[in-house]
């Protein structure tokens, strides 16, 4: 993906629906100027100025700005340091979710403590993706190489205990065939650890076509409902702007087109978890491959027209504030 500032300025902009509805964007990334995906704090601030009332955001790790040398365990802390410095004075990253290698087991505690120290009170959790599919590149979609059955690994599970010990959250991206292993991992983890399942639990088809999406829909729905039986698991609704999810539109879709395409997935998610354990996410700038920031939030607003005020509050801000303990 190569989106420039000119691309963003030229993209059609929708007028924000329900502009007074408070929003917390619980999942976005930042990269330094010059990175292959140009999205720094100024680009994020521009998106926040598109008319929606985004009151806070949560930065989620994206493998940037690691320390180039020094203690190997503390190199990922460079990303937290980058975010703290890059967002000073900006309404961005009230919460920070960093990366740590959970496969190290108990030794990962040193990385977590480094993030906590560097975060200036904003570090809230860790993300360690286990996404793996026999037909899709894990390196391309997880940011690093993965292997099958990481969720069952004893070292990984020891790492989860270190996350829980520090009262941090755990974000995870995976593909839907891995959901049964996730359920097993949740059962083995401390009950006080909150699992945040990213991007709808990965209903990724074998091929990026509507027929292939339909072929995996029922399997995803069944296994997601099983995971949802665990009360310490919450779900992020979004991420489907990535081409691997198989939603293809001609040109830049409108919010109405997005809402129509996403409705079955959102309804399954809410039926399984309830609005109080779901949160809408942008996954920007990665999802910008599919649509604009203003169209994204308009689509979520269209999907929830007629829903109760409590349900909308949970989905747009309340769940995210609670889970990430945002002021």
| Average pLDDT per consecutive 10 residues, the chain (327 residues; last block may be shorter) | 51 89 98 85 95 98 96 98 95 97 98 98 97 80 86 98 98 97 98 98 92 97 98 98 90 94 98 98 95 97 98 98 96
The encoded tokens of residue 78 equal 């460079």
Residue written as token pair 């994020």: 44
pLDDT value of position 11:
60
Q: How far apart are CA 179 and CA 273, in angstroms?
A: 14
pLDDT value of position 203:
97
pLDDT value of position 1:
44
Instruction: Give the list of residues 6+ apart from residue 244 with CB closer than 8 angstroms, or none.
Output: 136, 141, 204, 208
pLDDT value of position 8:
54
Q: In the chain, what's the furthest Cα-to-Cα distance?
A: 54
pLDDT value of position 70:
97
Provide the CATH number for the domain formed by 20-324 in this structure: 3.20.20.140
Degrees to nearest 5, angle at CA 198 with 43 and 158: 120
pLDDT value of position 323:
98
Q: How far apart are CA 78 and CA 224, in angstroms?
A: 34
Q: How far apart are CA 104 and CA 227, in angstroms?
A: 25
pLDDT value of position 42:
94
Q: How far apart are CA 69 and CA 212, in angstroms?
A: 44
CA-wise closest residue to 279 among 24, 55, 47, 91: 24
Q: How far apart are CA 82 and CA 31, in angstroms?
A: 9
CA 70 to chain centre: 29
What spatial distance separates the first Cα and last Cα of the chain, rounded to whole Å? 34
pLDDT value of position 2:
45
């Amino acid at each position: 993906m190569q989106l420039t500032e000119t691309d963003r300025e030229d993209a059609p902009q929708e007028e924000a629906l329900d502009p007074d509805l408070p929003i917390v964007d619980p999942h976005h990334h930042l990269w330094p100027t010059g990175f292959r995906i140009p999205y720094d704090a100024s680009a994020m601030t521009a998106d926040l100025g598109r008319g929606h009332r985004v009151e806070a955001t949560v930065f989620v790790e994206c493998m940037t700005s690691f320390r180039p040398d020094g203690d190997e365990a503390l190199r990922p802390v460079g990303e937290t340091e980058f975010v703290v410095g890059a967002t000073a004075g900006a309404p961005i990253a009230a919460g920070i979710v960093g990366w740590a290698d959970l496969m190290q087991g108990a030794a990962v505690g040193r990385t977590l403590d480094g993030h906590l120290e560097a975060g200036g009170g904003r570090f809230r959790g860790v993300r360690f993706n286990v996404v793996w599919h026999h037909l899709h590149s894990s390196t391309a979609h997880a940011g690093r190489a993965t292997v099958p059955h990481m969720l069952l690994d004893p070292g990984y599970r020891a790492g989860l205990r270190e996350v829980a010990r520090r009262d941090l959250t755990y974000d995870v991206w995976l593909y839907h065939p891995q959901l049964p292993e996730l359920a097993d991992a949740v059962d083995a983890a401390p009950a006080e650890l909150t699992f945040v399942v990213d991007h709808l639990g990965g209903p990724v088809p074998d091929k990026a076509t509507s027929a292939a999406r339909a072929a995996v829909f029922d399997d995803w729905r069944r296994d997601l409902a099983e995971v949802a039986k665990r009360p310490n698991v919450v779900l992020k609704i979004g991420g489907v702007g990535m081409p691997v999810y198989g939603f293809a539109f001609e040109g830049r879709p409108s919010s109405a087109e997005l809402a129509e395409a996403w409705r079955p997935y959102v309804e399954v998610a809410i039926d399984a978890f309830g609005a109080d354990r779901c949160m809408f996410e942008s996954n920007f700038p990665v999802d910008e491959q599919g649509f604009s920031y203003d169209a994204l939030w308009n689509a979520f607003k269209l999907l929830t027209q007629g829903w109760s005020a409590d349900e909308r509050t949970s989905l747009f801000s309340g769940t995210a504030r609670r889970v990430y303990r945002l002021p």
